[in-house]
């Protein structure tokens, strides 16, 4: 044994968690798995600060502890919380956690020891994340499992002696294992932003074969993708989405719809076996196949390939920001009344100023393309192919007399059917979809009658959802027809913000 061996490993892999209002970490040698926390936990004949009850985990009745309550910082239970199975000295205990943040490797020299007079600390060291700089406290699994009155059970979750042991090749990886219909899939935990145990999937104009709808996450409307459709393996049943896995792709988030989250499993790199490319419809999205103890064969997704996939990054680029400002009571009542009376829904988007358009005018919304075939026509960015059609991409800002801006990460293309042909409009970002709550039926038409609704100056004004602003009700079909009939793009004039503020 060398001196380095005696001192311990040069770096340690930690699972990162949000727990008890703090960013914490656990060595993977102490972290057995993560499972959804049920709404109701079974009662057990024991009492201790923070002890919530127990859950059934295969062969184990696992006590669950709320560390926040132990520390005097209890918080209200949430339906998306998880239970982290922690092991030490041959015993295990479940800890309530808000979410899994991923994993990271930390050089041993970067750890800063922590102590207090008389002992009693539940964490042993701290470190800063090598990439984000976020401070994390390393939980002391032994100290937590030794808390007075807290019951623990014998570790039968896996062979404890094998945890963290290096195989012949030495390298090991932590996988998040999940079920999608009849398939078991796995992905490196480092590529998982977080998990959603019970996502509420809502309908959306993005809904398609691949996209099942959207969920609200991180103040955004995030598309939910069916992994089986993406992989060419079929599709999830209509009622078979019981969990979600969030990927951060840079431009935005995408949620992979799952049947259920199974566990975190540590495997040796050499145990992930390559698969014949001809044996799978999308071999480019798979890293191989692995036999996970207790679960069987799993297809291992290639996290880097998922992040680079054009379809997924396209969905990530159309995350829609939610209005998180507290709504007034009369605004909420107006929305409820509008929905009850069948008021039409509107899509709100931005081209530097927010604009509304009737949702039933929009056939679908697609990501902004990586390239457009230019045609040098004023107001036209160029042509793309979509669903076996050559689609013109109009620069809506230019057509409405505003300055054209480079396409950002949130740019996208609402598609409109104009006299039987698809037309796409480049917009900066989507805002929301909500029912119209007010319109002036006697509003005077400004400008030429033929331009009614085709320009910002001639568009009637509406209120949408809980937004108290008056927004221009733009007819995208009329905008396209105006260009088709030879009208020149408008010259920049009085800013629309000035008109709307009058």
pLDDT of 461 reads 87
pLDDT in tens, 58-73: 678 899 999 888 888 8
Q: How confident is the model at residue 297 (pLDDT cuts 50, 70, 90)?
A: very high
* Residue 348: both structure tokens together: 């709100």
Q: What are phi and psi of 461, to 5 degrees?
A: -105, 140
What is the rounded CA–CA span in Å between residue 184 and residue 472?
49
pTM: predicted TM-score of the whole model, two decimal places: 0.54
Binning the chain into helix, strand and coil, the percentages to the nearest 5 are: 15, 40, 40
What is the rounded CA–CA span in Å between residue 153 and residue 482?
73
pLDDT of 118 reads 67
pLDDT of 492 reads 53
pLDDT of 502 reads 39
The 8-class DSSP code of residue 5 comes to H
Indicate the burial class of 295 (C-beta count within 10 angstroms; 0-12, 13-18, 19 or more): middle
Q: What are phi and psi of 203, to 5 degrees?
A: -65, 155
Point out the least confidently predicted range of 130-144, 190-204, 291-305: 190-204
Q: How confident is the model at residue 104 (pLDDT cuts 50, 70, 90)?
A: confident
* Residue 296: both structure tokens together: 């069987």
The 8-class DSSP code of residue 37 comes to P
Would you tell me how many other CB atoms lie within 10 Å of the CB of residue 273?
12
Which of 231, 193, 225, 234 is closest to 206 using CA atoms? Answer: 225
With a CB cutoff of 8 Å and minimum separation 6, the contacts of 308 are none
Q: How confident is the model at residue 416 (pLDDT cuts 50, 70, 90)?
A: very high
Most confidently modeled of 282-286, 317-321, 417-421? 282-286
Three-state secondary-structure class, residue 429: strand
Residue 169 has pLDDT above 70, yes or no: no
Mean pLDDT value across the chain: 81
Q: What is the mean pLDDT of residues 182-210?
A: 82
- What is the chain's alpha carbon radius of gyration, rounded to the nearest angstrom? 27
* Residue 85: both structure tokens together: 């199975």
Dihedral sign (CA 208, 322, 312, 79): negative
Superfamily (CATH) of domain 172-316: CheA-289, Domain 4 (2.40.50.180)
Residue 5 has pLDDT above 50, yes or no: no
What string of DSSP letters covers 306-351? HHH-HHHHHHHTT-EE---SPPPHHHHHHHHHHHHTTPPEEEEEES
CA-based end-to-end distance of the chain: 80
Residue 168 has pLDDT above 60, yes or no: no
Q: What is the mean pLDDT of residues 475-485?
A: 88
Residue 158 has pLDDT above 70, yes or no: no
Residue 376 has pLDDT above 90, yes or no: no
Q: Which residue is associated with the tokens 């970067």?
A: 110
Indicate the burial class of 64 (C-beta count within 10 angstroms; 0-12, 13-18, 19 or more): buried
The 8-class DSSP code of residue 157 comes to S
334-500 has the same fold as 3-162: yes
- Say how far residue 433 (Cα) sits from the centre of its chain: 19
Residue 144's alpha-carbon distances to 38, 87, 156, 162, 380, in angstroms, are 22, 10, 19, 22, 64
Three-state secondary-structure class, residue 223: strand
What is the rounded CA–CA span in Å between residue 46 and residue 68?
19
The length of the chain in residues reads: 502
CATH of 3-162, one of 3.40.50.10490, 2.40.50.180, 3.40.47.10, 3.40.50.720: 2.40.50.180
Indicate the burial class of 481 (C-beta count within 10 angstroms; 0-12, 13-18, 19 or more): middle
Would you tell me how many other CB atoms lie within 10 Å of the CB of residue 46?
12
With a CB cutoff of 8 Å and minimum separation 6, the contacts of 66 are 20, 50, 51, 52, 74, 96
Q: Which CATH architecture has domain 334-500?
A: Beta Barrel (2.40)
Q: How confident is the model at residue 426 (pLDDT cuts 50, 70, 90)?
A: very high
pLDDT of 53 reads 93
pLDDT in tens, 198-256: 788 988 777 888 999 899 887 788 999 999 999 999 999 888 888 888 888 877 889 99
Exposure string for 311-324, b = 16+ CB within 10 A, e = fewer: ebbbbbbbbbeeee
Q: How confident is the model at residue 466 (pLDDT cuts 50, 70, 90)?
A: confident
What string of DSSP letters covers 186-215? EEEGGG--EEESS---B--TT-SSSEEEEE
Query: Which percentage of the chain shows pLDDT scores above 70?
Result: 84
- The domain limits of the chain are 3-162, 172-316, 334-500
Q: How confident is the model at residue 489 (pLDDT cuts 50, 70, 90)?
A: low
Strand 22-27 to 135-139 pairing: parallel
Point out the least confidently predicted range of 143-157, 297-311, 480-494: 480-494
């Amino acid at each position: 044994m060398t001196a380095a061996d005696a001192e311990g490993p040069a770096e340690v892999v930690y699972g990162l968690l949000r727990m008890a209002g703090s960013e914490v970490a656990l060595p993977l040698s102490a972290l057995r798995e993560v499972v959804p926390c049920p709404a109701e936990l079974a009662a057990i004949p024991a009492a201790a600060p923070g002890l919530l009850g127990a859950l059934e985990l295969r062969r184990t009745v696992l006590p669950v502890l709320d560390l926040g309550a132990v520390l005097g910082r209890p918080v209200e239970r949430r339906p998306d919380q998880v239970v982290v199975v922690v092991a030490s000295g041959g015993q295990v205990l479940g800890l309530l956690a808000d979410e899994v943040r991923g994993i990271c490797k930390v050089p041993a020299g970067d750890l800063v020891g922590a102590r207090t007079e008389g002992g009693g600390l539940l964490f042993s060291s701290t470190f800063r994340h090598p990439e984000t700089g976020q401070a994390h406290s390393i939980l002391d699994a032994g100290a937590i499992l030794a808390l007075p009155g807290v019951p623990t059970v014998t570790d039968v979750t896996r062979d404890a002696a094998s945890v963290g042991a290096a195989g012949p090749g030495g390298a090991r990886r932590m996988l998040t294992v999940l079920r999608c219909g009849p398939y078991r899939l796995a992905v490196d935990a480092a590529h998982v932003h977080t998990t959603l145990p019970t996502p509420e999937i809502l309908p959306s104009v993005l809904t398609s074969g691949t996209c099942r709808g959207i969920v609200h996450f991180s103040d955004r409307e995030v598309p939910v993708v069916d992994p089986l459709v993406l992989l060419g393996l079929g599709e999830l049943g209509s009622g078979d989405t019981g969990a979600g896995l969030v990927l951060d792709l840079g431009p935005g988030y995408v949620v992979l719809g799952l049947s259920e989250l199974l566990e975190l499993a540590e495997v040796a790199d050499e145990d992930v076996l390559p698969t014949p490319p001809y044996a799978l419809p999308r071999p480019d999205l798979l890293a191989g196949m692995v036999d996970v103890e207790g679960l069987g064969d799993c297809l291992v997704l290639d996290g880097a390939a998922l992040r680079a996939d054009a379809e997924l990054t396209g969905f990530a680029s159309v995350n829609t920001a939610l209005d998180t400002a507290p709504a007034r009571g009369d605004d909420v009542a107006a929305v409820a009344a509008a929905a009850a009376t069948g008021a039409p829904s509107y899509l709100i988007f931005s081209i530097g100023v927010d604009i509304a358009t009737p949702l039933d005018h929009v056939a679908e919304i697609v990501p902004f393309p990586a390239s457009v075939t230019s045609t040098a026509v004023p107001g036209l960015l160029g042509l793309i192919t979509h669903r076996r059609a050559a689609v013109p991409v109009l620069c809506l800002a230019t057509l409405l007399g505003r300055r054209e801006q480079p396409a950002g990460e949130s740019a996208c293309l609402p598609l409109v059917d104009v006299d039987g042909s698809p037309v796409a409009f480049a917009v900066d970002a989507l805002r929301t979809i909500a029912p119209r709550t007010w319109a002036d039926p006697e509003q005077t038409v400004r400008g030429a009658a033929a331009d009614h609704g085709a320009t910002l100056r001639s568009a009637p004004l509406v209120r949408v959802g809980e937004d108290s602003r008056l927004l221009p009700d733009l007819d995208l079909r009329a905008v396209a027809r105006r260009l088709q009939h030879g009208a020149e793009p408008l010259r920049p004039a009085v800013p629309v913000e000035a008109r709307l503020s009058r």
